[in-house]
């Protein structure tokens, strides 16, 4: 009888779905991961400000690994890659930034600066136009 009762309780518990504590835990993990990504971006900004672009690239890549949807991290990565001389990857990162967040004025601005500096005047003008359009 006791075994049957335990089996019924187990079946009821399983059919009820995950415990509310577990769903709350997922939210906490998500928040902490985003906070860690922000810290990597801050570290990258400090390194870039000191002219240590290769180290900044590493920090921005770490931020992206923690938050792959961060348009800001891709924009910062693109700017650091440009300064480090990795132009192909820089352009890819800058374009990824605005593809993740199509109304990201700062992302379009940085893309425009990059394109202008590398002789893509018409594309740069379009990026600057979008930056102005989305600026608030």
pLDDT over 60 at 18, yes or no: no
| Dihedral sign for Cα atoms in the order 24, 28, 31, 34 | negative
How far apart, in whole angstroms, are the C-alpha atoms of residue 93 and residue 73?
9
Residue 85: left (phi > 0), alpha (psi -120 to 50), or beta?
Answer: left
Q: Once rounded to an integer, what is the mean pLDDT over residues 5-32? A: 60
Mean per-residue pLDDT over the chain, rounded: 88
pTM of the entire predicted model: 0.80
Note the pLDDT tens digit of each residue in 96-125: 999 999 999 999 999 999 999 999 999 999
Q: Once rounded to an integer, what is the mean pLDDT over residues 28-38? A: 91
pLDDT over 80 at 63, yes or no: yes
Q: Which CATH superfamily is 36-134 part of?
A: Tetratricopeptide repeat domain (1.25.40.10)
pLDDT at 12: 44
Q: Which pLDDT band, with edges at 50, 70 and 90, does 23 fall under? A: low
């Amino acid at each position: 009888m006791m075994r049957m009762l335990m089996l019924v309780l187990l079946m009821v518990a399983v059919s009820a779905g995950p415990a509310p504590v577990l769903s709350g835990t997922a939210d906490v993990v998500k928040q902490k991961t985003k906070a860690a990504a922000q810290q990597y971006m801050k570290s990258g900004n400090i390194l870039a400000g000191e002219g240590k672009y290769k180290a900044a690239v590493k920090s921005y890549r770490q931020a992206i690994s923690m938050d792959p949807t961060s348009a800001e991290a891709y924009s910062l990565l693109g700017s650091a890659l440009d300064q480090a001389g990795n132009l192909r990857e820089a352009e890819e990162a800058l374009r990824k930034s605005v593809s993740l967040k199509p109304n990201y004025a700062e992302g379009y601005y940085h893309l425009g600066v990059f394109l202008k500096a590398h002789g893509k005047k018409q594309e740069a003008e379009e990026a600057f136009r979008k930056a102005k359009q989305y600026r608030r």
